[in-house]
Protein backbone atom coordinates (compact mmCIF):
# COMPACT_ATOMS: atom_id res chain seq x y z
CA UNK A 1 0.00 0.00 0.00
CA UNK A 2 2.90 2.36 0.55
CA UNK A 3 4.26 1.88 -2.92
CA UNK A 4 1.13 3.14 -4.74
CA UNK A 5 1.06 6.16 -2.41
CA UNK A 6 4.66 7.05 -3.35
CA UNK A 7 3.88 6.65 -7.02
CA UNK A 8 0.82 8.86 -6.55
CA UNK A 9 2.79 11.62 -4.77
CA UNK A 10 5.46 11.53 -7.44
CA UNK A 11 2.80 11.65 -10.15
CA UNK A 12 1.12 14.66 -8.47
CA UNK A 13 4.47 16.46 -8.12
CA UNK A 14 5.27 15.93 -11.78
CA UNK A 15 1.76 16.98 -12.83
CA UNK A 16 2.02 20.22 -10.82
CA UNK A 17 5.44 20.96 -12.17
CA UNK A 18 7.20 20.70 -8.84
CA UNK A 19 10.17 18.57 -8.19
CA UNK A 20 10.68 16.56 -5.07
CA UNK A 21 14.05 17.75 -3.70
CA UNK A 22 16.79 15.23 -3.33
CA UNK A 23 18.02 17.22 -0.31
CA UNK A 24 17.41 20.63 1.32
CA UNK A 25 19.49 23.16 3.27
CA UNK A 26 18.14 25.85 5.61
CA UNK A 27 19.80 29.23 6.14
CA UNK A 28 19.13 31.03 9.40
CA UNK A 29 18.87 34.67 8.35
CA UNK A 30 18.99 37.66 10.69
CA UNK A 31 18.78 41.44 10.50
CA UNK A 32 18.70 44.28 13.00
CA UNK A 33 16.26 47.15 13.42
CA UNK A 34 18.29 50.10 14.69
CA UNK A 35 16.85 52.37 17.32
CA UNK A 36 17.32 56.11 17.04
CA UNK A 37 16.82 59.06 19.34
CA UNK A 38 13.99 60.92 21.01
CA UNK A 39 14.09 64.50 19.71
CA UNK A 40 12.10 67.71 19.34
CA UNK A 41 12.22 70.57 16.86
CA UNK A 42 10.59 74.00 16.89
CA UNK A 43 10.86 77.20 14.84
CA UNK A 44 14.03 79.21 15.51
CA UNK A 45 12.06 82.47 15.50
CA UNK A 46 8.43 83.56 15.62
CA UNK A 47 6.77 86.95 15.35
CA UNK A 48 3.42 87.16 17.12
CA UNK A 49 2.34 90.51 15.70
CA UNK A 50 1.50 93.66 17.60
CA UNK A 51 -1.09 95.13 19.91
CA UNK A 52 -1.59 97.86 22.45
CA UNK A 53 -1.10 98.15 26.18
CA UNK A 54 -3.85 96.36 28.14
CA UNK A 55 -4.56 94.28 25.02
CA UNK A 56 -3.90 90.73 23.93
CA UNK A 57 -1.53 89.57 21.20
CA UNK A 58 -2.16 86.02 20.01
CA UNK A 59 -0.70 83.94 17.18
CA UNK A 60 0.45 80.44 16.43
CA UNK A 61 4.12 79.77 17.12
CA UNK A 62 4.78 77.41 14.20
CA UNK A 63 5.15 73.65 13.92
CA UNK A 64 6.69 71.81 16.87
CA UNK A 65 7.55 68.14 16.25
CA UNK A 66 8.42 65.47 18.79
CA UNK A 67 9.98 62.42 17.11
CA UNK A 68 10.52 59.09 18.84
CA UNK A 69 12.82 57.00 16.65
CA UNK A 70 13.86 54.66 19.49
CA UNK A 71 11.85 51.79 17.95
CA UNK A 72 10.90 50.53 21.41
CA UNK A 73 8.33 47.85 22.18
CA UNK A 74 6.76 49.87 24.98
CA UNK A 75 7.78 53.44 25.67
CA UNK A 76 6.39 56.87 26.40
CA UNK A 77 7.48 60.48 26.10
CA UNK A 78 6.43 63.91 27.34
CA UNK A 79 7.11 67.17 25.54
CA UNK A 80 7.28 70.21 27.82
CA UNK A 81 7.23 73.95 27.23
CA UNK A 82 8.54 76.89 29.25
CA UNK A 83 9.23 80.56 28.59
CA UNK A 84 11.36 83.42 29.85
CA UNK A 85 10.01 86.88 30.57
CA UNK A 86 9.76 89.10 27.49
CA UNK A 87 12.10 92.11 27.63
CA UNK A 88 11.58 95.33 25.71
CA UNK A 89 14.55 95.47 23.32
CA UNK A 90 13.63 98.96 22.10
CA UNK A 91 13.48 100.48 25.58
CA UNK A 92 15.61 98.20 27.79
CA UNK A 93 14.73 100.12 30.95
CA UNK A 94 11.02 99.29 30.52
CA UNK A 95 9.61 96.50 32.65
CA UNK A 96 9.60 93.07 31.07
CA UNK A 97 6.34 91.24 30.47
CA UNK A 98 6.50 88.24 32.83
CA UNK A 99 5.99 84.71 31.54
CA UNK A 100 2.91 84.47 33.78
CA UNK A 101 1.20 86.76 31.23
CA UNK A 102 2.04 84.42 28.32
CA UNK A 103 -0.56 81.71 27.75
CA UNK A 104 -0.01 78.54 25.70
CA UNK A 105 -2.18 75.84 24.28
CA UNK A 106 -0.90 73.03 22.12
CA UNK A 107 -3.96 72.33 19.96
CA UNK A 108 -4.44 69.07 18.07
CA UNK A 109 -1.51 67.30 16.43
CA UNK A 110 -0.78 65.38 13.28
CA UNK A 111 0.64 62.04 14.41
CA UNK A 112 2.43 59.04 12.93
CA UNK A 113 3.04 55.59 14.35
CA UNK A 114 1.37 53.61 17.09
CA UNK A 115 0.82 55.40 20.41
CA UNK A 116 -1.79 57.04 22.59
CA UNK A 117 -1.20 60.75 21.92
CA UNK A 118 -2.49 63.44 24.30
CA UNK A 119 -2.33 67.20 23.81
CA UNK A 120 -1.40 69.17 26.89
CA UNK A 121 -4.11 71.71 26.08
CA UNK A 122 -6.35 70.79 23.16
CA UNK A 123 -8.53 73.91 23.33
CA UNK A 124 -8.12 77.60 24.12
CA UNK A 125 -10.24 76.98 27.21
CA UNK A 126 -7.43 74.71 28.49
CA UNK A 127 -4.62 77.25 28.01
CA UNK A 128 -1.94 77.55 30.68
CA UNK A 129 0.44 80.36 31.49
CA UNK A 130 4.15 79.71 31.07
CA UNK A 131 5.19 80.76 34.57
CA UNK A 132 6.21 77.12 35.08
CA UNK A 133 7.22 74.19 32.90
CA UNK A 134 4.05 72.77 31.31
CA UNK A 135 3.21 69.62 29.37
CA UNK A 136 2.75 70.46 25.71
CA UNK A 137 2.12 66.95 24.35
CA UNK A 138 2.64 63.35 25.39
CA UNK A 139 2.55 59.85 24.02
CA UNK A 140 2.18 56.56 25.87
CA UNK A 141 1.93 52.91 24.87
CA UNK A 142 4.24 53.66 21.96
CA UNK A 143 5.38 50.82 19.72
CA UNK A 144 8.19 51.36 17.24
CA UNK A 145 8.77 54.87 15.93
CA UNK A 146 6.22 57.68 16.16
CA UNK A 147 5.87 61.45 16.01
CA UNK A 148 3.50 64.29 16.79
CA UNK A 149 3.47 67.72 15.15
CA UNK A 150 1.43 70.55 16.63
CA UNK A 151 1.20 74.30 16.04
CA UNK A 152 0.66 75.88 19.47
CA UNK A 153 -0.93 79.24 20.12
CA UNK A 154 0.77 81.85 22.31
CA UNK A 155 -1.32 84.59 23.82
CA UNK A 156 0.40 87.55 25.49
CA UNK A 157 -1.72 89.61 27.86
CA UNK A 158 0.04 92.97 27.63
CA UNK A 159 -0.19 94.86 30.94
CA UNK A 160 -1.76 98.31 31.05
CA UNK A 161 1.66 99.79 31.85
CA UNK A 162 3.29 98.08 28.85
CA UNK A 163 5.77 100.39 27.12
CA UNK A 164 5.82 100.68 23.31
CA UNK A 165 8.62 98.72 21.65
CA UNK A 166 9.63 95.27 20.50
CA UNK A 167 9.64 92.57 23.18
CA UNK A 168 11.76 89.45 22.97
CA UNK A 169 11.78 86.27 25.03
CA UNK A 170 12.45 82.58 24.59
CA UNK A 171 9.94 79.75 24.43
CA UNK A 172 11.66 76.39 24.99
CA UNK A 173 10.24 72.99 24.07
CA UNK A 174 11.92 69.84 25.39
CA UNK A 175 11.11 66.12 25.35
CA UNK A 176 11.93 63.24 27.71
CA distance 111 to 116: 10
DSSP letter for 126, please. G
112-171 residue pLDDT tens: 999 999 999 999 999 999 999 999 999 999 999 999 999 999 999 999 999 999 999 999
Kindly state the helix (H) or strand (E) to which residue 81 belongs, with its residue range.
Answer: strand 64-83
Note the pTM of the prediction, 2 decimals. Answer: 0.85
73-98 residue pLDDT tens: 999 999 999 999 999 999 999 999 99
Domain assignments of the chain as residue spans, ordered by start: 34-175
Cβ(154)–Cβ(58) below 8 Å? yes
Q: What residues are paired with 143 via a beta bridge?
A: 114
**Per-residue confidence at 21, pLDDT binned at 50, 70, 90?**
confident
Amino acid sequence: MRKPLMVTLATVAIALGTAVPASAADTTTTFAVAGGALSISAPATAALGSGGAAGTIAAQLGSVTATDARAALAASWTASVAATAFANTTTPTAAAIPNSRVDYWSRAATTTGTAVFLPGQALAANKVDLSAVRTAYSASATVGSNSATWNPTLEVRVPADGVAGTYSGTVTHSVV
